[in-house]
Amino acid sequence: MALINCPECTSEVSDTAIKCPRCGVQLRKIKRGFFGKLFKWAFILFNIIMLAWLVSYFNQLSDLAGTSVSDTHKTGVAIGGTLGTGMLLGLWVMGDVILGLFVLFTRPKG
C-alpha cells in the first residue's frame, strides 16, 4: 500500500482509495467483478434473444395469416397470436426483472 498525492488537494492518499478522504474527488473507477460482468452480459444477451424471438414469431404469424383459407382459420391465428405474444412478453418481463435484480446486486459499490 503506497501513498499517492491527490490531484485536487495534494494530500497524501492510499493508492487503493477510491475517493480522497479530504476533498472527495474520485481517484479511480470501480470495476465490476466476474459475476457482475457475467450477469450484465446475460441481461443484454437475453434481451437480444427475446427481441429476435418476438420478431421471428411475428413473421411466422404473418405467413400463417397470409396462407389461411377460411375466416375461422384467420380468427384462430389471431387468437393464438395474441395469446402467444402475451406469453412471450410475460416471459420477457419476468426474465428482465430477475436478471435485472442480479445485475443490480452485483454492481460495484462505492
Cα gap 34→13, rounded to integer Å: 27
pTM score, whole prediction = 0.73
Q: Summarize pLDDT for 66-110 with one digit per residue, the tens.
A: 887 788 888 888 899 999 999 999 999 999 999 999 999 998 876
Write out the three cell numbers for 2: 503506497
Cα gap 54→49, rounded to integer Å: 9
Cα gap 79→75, rounded to integer Å: 6
Q: Summarize pLDDT for 28-52 with one digit per residue, the tens.
A: 888 889 999 999 999 999 999 999 9
Domain boundaries, the chain: 1-30, 31-110
Task: Using the predicted structure, report yes or no on whether residue 61 has a pLDDT greater than 90.
Answer: no
